[in-house]
Structure 1
Amino acid sequence: MERSKRAATSRSGRMAMLEFLRIPENFALLTGQATKGKPMKGGQKLTRSHGLARLVEYVNAVVPAVRPWTTKDAKSSLTNSPTAMKDRKLL
């Protein structure tokens, strides 16, 4: 099975991601701080995967693209950034 190459995240896509992360609730969802010190309630969506899904919805709504973003693209863009790679000692 051959992997298809994904295009790099565009500048407008990166700017949309930054705008999304500037909202404290969204930042907390993607960094795991949304549930710190809070009891879980039924139906509550405070997982990182829910945060990635919300990021995908936001980027697809804001950025006109030939190919819509998926949660896989969002996860890849967040975890393969230069900062994340430095933290993992890959750069």
Structure 2
Amino acid sequence: MSLSLEKILSEIEQLTPEEQLTVMGHLVEHIKKHINQAQSKRKWSDLKGMAPYPLLGEDAQEWVSRTRQEGDEHRERLLRGEE
């Protein structure tokens, strides 16, 4: 632990409980700002390309059913040696 941190903690211990709560509240708000800033750096464009094109404009359940059926048909053709 650094000397400056030890000094700060020692000074905080000398405060009244109400003042210590004020210090705690200040620290919580300060940390929240840093967390919010880190989260706000994320952009929707970062998600680009995560979902394949067919998902756009197609009902999710229909897409799942269709791709499962296509996969099954493809596997059957492979097992029969058609491809």
TM-score between both structures, scaled by the size of structure 1: 0.22
Higher helix share: 2
Larger Rg: 2
TM-score between both structures, scaled by the size of structure 2: 0.24
Higher relative contact order (CA 8 A, sep 6+): 1
